[in-house]
Structure 1
């Protein structure tokens, strides 16, 4: 029971921040956010083992510089495991070309299918690693401030930038709490004889019903208390608010951008 609760508590790394003083922690959150989005885009340029090795080496160096354990990153793969398996299987069975290794009716495993399945797997793992590195080294409030800063030009079009940043900050802040509360509810239900993960799909879904109602009640109560607290403090997202944390672009951020440009050049040459 305790192991299951711990799994639920640690399975989702979204919003979990590990404080540190590494060079990755001290990078400007705007640079880290844009770098994450950029790396997710250029992963599709990797079409051979050399380019994939280059990108994975870049991320692993970032992990070492952040002084983080790789177990956090492999743990981040758990919630995506079945989606990764399903997508890889679709590429493996329904992409044809090259040498045929196995065939059963309309199901075919060919050289092209294996190659595409491998690339899809590597891209999924890379995206999870990069996003995990971002969340583990960037405080949720700093990430929300980065989003607000990057979306600031949209204020000219009356886009609610501050409200969007606030919603992102609240989501990143309370998602881990919801997971922790879910693990506690599961432990309480197990003590009453409820078994999770056993039986067919419908039985497993029925076992989750005792978790949904308490979780919904707790979420609505917390949202109401949070709204009351914000109103009591006179919060207004549309006002010209000052910032307690001032984000500044430093020399290390410029050096990191230069390294990223060099990486892009090498990636294009090695394709």
Structure 2
């Protein structure tokens, strides 16, 4: 006998800083290669946020997701309030007007503001997808050695690259762990019976006291987790071992960087010449 349907789909939460299991070509890339490609694409999107570079980066993200075997179930559920905010933002941006202008009967509507809003929204989605791809295909333990290797030239300037790499690795390790702890605390807090508040003032006071209790519990959990992590690091040889692992690019990394550079270069050339000129003319 099948279980009764609740009529409500369960929402999928955001899965970040936890690699999706697999042994694809994207998973085998060096972590430093992924960081360099993300940095280069970020610089490109900063100075040339046109439709052609956005489309090219979106294609790269989709192809990488296909090669890495990323399933649709990894994507989080989009809340309804976010869709409403995007719709409201597009509606208000339409009032800004601008070229191109279309005629609706006797009314002329400028779509320039709406197109700019859609371009910024698409840029945000592409950059979020790019960061998510790195998170889903990279082990957190590989980040610190890669950062230490990439920052090796900065040691000449007496910059503490290894300490920065260790701090970054510890932050990336602690972030998903603390999120799980906070979810457990929140769920346990919701299970506690709530005393009746006869007045509005009592309701707000109860809400304020609950927020203080949650904050104190969260700080206690964070300190306990930090103490446990410190003991584990000491038992394994100290914090220096986190960034001391051998980390070097391989032949596949050079091919990946060459492909990304070629795609971004072609997209930039099209944006600055053919497509960019035609857009300005229109």
Deviations 1:99-127 (A, max 9, x none): 678xxxxxxx8422101100110011011
User: Pick from 60, 63, 69: which aligns with 1:61?
Assistant: 63
**CA–CA separation in structure 1 for the residues paired with 2:14 and 2:205:** 24
Number of matched pairs: 244
Q: CA deviation at 1:40?
A: 2.2
Shift in Å, 1:93? 6.3
- Alignment correspondent of 1:104: none
Q: Given the two structures, how large is their TM-score scaled by the length of structure 1?
A: 0.76
Cα contact 2:100–2:111 (8 A) shared by 1: yes
2:50 match: secondary structure = coil
2:76 alignment counterpart? 75
Which residue of 2, 13, 16 corresponds with 2:15?
A: 13
1:169 aligns with 2:172: no
Aligned to 2:275: none
The equivalent residue for 2:159 is: 159
Report matched runs for 1:230-241 at 5 Å: 230-231=233-234, 235=238, 237=240
Instruction: Report 1:118-267 matches (<5 A).
Output: 118-193=118-193, 206=208, 208-231=211-234, 235=238, 237=240, 243-244=244-245, 246-267=246-267
Distance 1:99 1:225 in 2: 60
Bigger Rg, structure 1 or 2: 2
Secondary structure in structure 2 of the residue aligned to 1:21:
coil
**TM-score, normalising length: structure 2:** 0.73
Contact 1:11 1:76 in 2 (8 A): yes
Cα deviation, 1:231-264, whole Å, max 9, x if unaligned, reads: 5665264xx99844x2232221111111112102
Q: What is the CA-CA distance between 1:132 and the residue it aligns to?
A: 0.4
Distance, in Å, in 2 between the alignment partners of 1:112 and 1:128 is: 24
Give the distance between the partners of 2:73 and 2:19, measured in 1 at CA: 15
Query: How far is 1:85 from its partner?
Result: 4.1
Taking the aligned partners of 1:204 and 1:126, their CA distance within structure 2 comes to 42
Note the 1:28-67 alignment, pairs <5 A.
28-44=30-46, 45-48=48-51, 50-67=52-69
Cα RMSD (Å): 3.5
SS of the residue 2:76 aligns to = helix
Unaligned runs of 5+ in 1: 1-5, 102-108
Once the two structures are TM-superposed, the CA of residue 209 in structure 1 deviates from its matched residue by 3.6
User: 5+ unaligned residues in a row in structure 2: which ranges?
Assistant: 1-9, 103-108, 195-199, 272-282
Q: Deviations over 1:191-236 (max 9, x none)?
A: 1146xxxx9xx79974544322111011112223333454566526
Query: Is contact 2:54-2:126 (8 Å) kept?
Result: no
